[in-house]
Amino acid sequence: MKKFQTLLYYCYSPIADAELFAAEHLTFCKSLGLVGRIIVAEEGLNGTVSGTQKACEAYMAAIKADERFTKTDFKVDDVAEPSFIKMHCRYKSEIVHSGLRDPNVIDPNKETGKHLEPADFQKMIDQEDVVILDVRSNYEHNLGRFKNAVTLDIENFRDFPNKINELAKYKNKKVLTYCTGGIKCEKASALLLQHGFEDVYQLHGGIIKYGKEAGGKDFEGKCYVFDNRIAVDVNSVNPTIVSTCYSCGKVTPKMINCANPECNEHITQCDDCGDELLGCCSAPCMTNPRRRTYDGTGYYVKVPQPILAK
């Protein structure tokens, strides 16, 4: 029996004095013994936390008890060990970096795509007048994506607004957006509506919820997650692998971060190339004096750099 849980969640809800809230929330999370990463902004919360089942249940109860966050939808995974090493709770201008900060322009609480539960999303994806749109970054959809999905050449979600014109040819279609947990779709679908797309939907709870409630049917490959698991299985119905090794081209489901911390590129890499290149994406990265020791996972805990005396 797995003794720990990992919670993935977000909630768009105004937070007054969000910077103070972030500091107090960090103290609260530490008091429960949780580890993870939470972003707090005036627009809401975005987090992944991990700990014992008791601690996670206490955390979910506390969030739900706060009238600002009662609508929070938690995705819960049972895990063999905590998915983080430390607990971070940081204040930022947005809970997901999009560059769309003005609530008078984009506010998911006022306008967003129609939310589709996993079963309804599954029923729609094979319809002829439907376009499935992946709003995630390259390294995420390279690892796994829905069958026949339209993917965008973007390094970060903040690049999404610049791709709207490329999507104009789908304005007469039903556009079904999806991402890992749903948070990016809230703003992506709203932006599409503002640019004249009339029939816009989003997968409620994202890929993770779809895997849990609909068996992950027709999601090809694995899903990238932002913790030390790096990638998780989604499809238990008709699973397949679509990612290939960045170094040799061989089919592989494994994703790593380059061992050179000055590169830290997210790449899919087979075990043979990982061993040969010491977890690096290229030979030049192998020579970096700060190269991290590759343990086969490709996940590295961030270590603060020493402050040099002036």
Q: Tell me the CATH number at 16.
A: 3.30.70.100
Residue at 163 is within a domain: yes
In the predicted model, what is the mean pLDDT of residues 244-263?
A: 95
pLDDT band at 302 (very low <50, low <70, confident <90, very high): low
Residue at 108 is within a domain: no
**Are 79 and 169 contained in the same domain?**
no
Residue at 285 is within a domain: no
Q: What is the pLDDT of residue 99?
A: 72
pLDDT in tens, 144-176: 999 999 999 999 999 999 999 999 999 999 999
Residue at 195 is within a domain: yes
Which residue out of 29, 56, 179, 245 is catalytically annotated?
179
Pick the closest to residue 102 from 178, 39, 191, 201 (CA basis). 191
Q: Which of 60, 91, 122 represents a domain boundary (last residue)? A: 91
**Are 86 and 118 contained in the same domain?**
no
Residue 309, pLDDT above cutoff 60: no
**Are 76 and 119 contained in the same domain?**
no
User: Where does 154-301 have alpha helices with state H?
Assistant: 183-194, 206-214, 271-276, 283-286
Q: What is the pLDDT of residue 291?
A: 96
What pTM was computed for the model?
0.91
pLDDT band at 251 (very low <50, low <70, confident <90, very high): very high
Task: Considering only residues 283 and 107, tell me which one the structure prediction assigns the higher pLDDT.
Answer: 283
Q: What is the pLDDT of residue 2?
A: 78
Helices 53-65 and 18-32: crossing angle in degrees, nearest 10, is: 150
Residue at 298 is within a domain: no
**Are 131 and 74 contained in the same domain?**
no
Residue at 166 is within a domain: yes
223: annotated active-site residue: no
Task: Considering only residues 36 and 305, tell me which one the structure prediction assigns the higher pLDDT.
Answer: 36
**Are 60 and 129 contained in the same domain?**
no
Residues 245 and 156: their CA atoms lie apart, in Å, by 21
Task: Considering only residues 86 and 307, tell me which one the structure prediction assigns the higher pLDDT.
Answer: 86
Q: What is the pLDDT of residue 228?
A: 87
In the predicted model, what is the mean pLDDT of residues 24-34?
A: 98
Q: What is the pLDDT of residue 310?
A: 32
Q: What is the pLDDT of residue 37?
A: 97
CATH number for the domain that contains residue 128: 3.40.250.10
Residue at 58 is within a domain: yes
pLDDT band at 300 (very low <50, low <70, confident <90, very high): confident
Residue 206, pLDDT above cutoff 90: yes
**Are 76 and 129 contained in the same domain?**
no
| Mean of all residue pLDDT scores within the chain | 93
Instruction: Report the number of distinct structural domains present in the chain.
Output: 2
**Are 206 and 118 contained in the same domain?**
yes
Pick the closest to residue 5 from 102, 118, 97, 83 (CA basis). 83
Residue at 160 is within a domain: yes
Q: Which of 185, 217, 249 represents a domain boundary (last residue)? A: 217
Residues 295 and 137: their CA atoms lie apart, in Å, by 26
Q: Say what percent of the chain tops pLDDT 70.
A: 95
Beta carbons of 4 and 67 less than 8 angstroms apart: no
Residue 20's domain comprises 4-91
Pairing type for strands 200-203 and 174-178 reads parallel
Q: What is the pLDDT of residue 306?
A: 38
**Are 148 and 81 contained in the same domain?**
no
The angle subtended at Cα 172 by Cα 167 and Cα 176, nearest 5°, is: 65
CB atoms within 10 A of CB 134: 20
**Are 126 and 213 contained in the same domain?**
yes
CA gyration radius for the chain? 20
pLDDT in tens, 63-115: 999 999 999 999 999 999 999 999 999 999 999 888 766 555 678 888 899 99
Q: Which of 217, 237, 262 represents a domain boundary (last residue)? A: 217
